[in-house]
Amino acid sequence: MKDIIGPALVKLESVGSLLDIDTLEVYPCMEDDTPDWECGVPLTEVSDEWAFSLSDEDRALLIKYDLLEIF
């Protein structure tokens, strides 16, 4: 599972975010690939702009973890 870069974080390159697949929180990705822990947003509350900006590859990651229907 090389797309998981931490305990439960999946990098979504197209939206510059890290998704915690355990808590379903989305965090902005810092330049050093760490999450900005101060700015987390629940996956169910991401903006339409964020959702429409997901690449096909990132959508495939959400499908892989059965998370696409959540938002």
pLDDT tens column, 4-52:
555 689 999 999 999 999 899 999 999 999 999 999 999 999 999 999 9
Asked if residue 30 lies in contact with residue 16, where contact means CB atoms within 8 angstroms, the answer is no
Classify the C-alpha dihedral 25-17-20-48 as positive or negative.
Answer: positive
pLDDT at 1: 46
Q: Hey, where are the domains in the chain?
A: 9-70
> CA-to-CA distance for 31 and 47, rounded, in angstroms?
22
Per-residue confidence at 69, pLDDT binned at 50, 70, 90?
A: confident
Per-residue confidence at 71, pLDDT binned at 50, 70, 90?
A: low
Per-residue confidence at 70, pLDDT binned at 50, 70, 90?
A: confident
> CA-to-CA distance for 63 and 30, rounded, in angstroms?
24
Q: Which residues contact 10 (CB under 8 A, 6 or more apart)?
A: 3, 4, 18, 19, 21, 61, 65
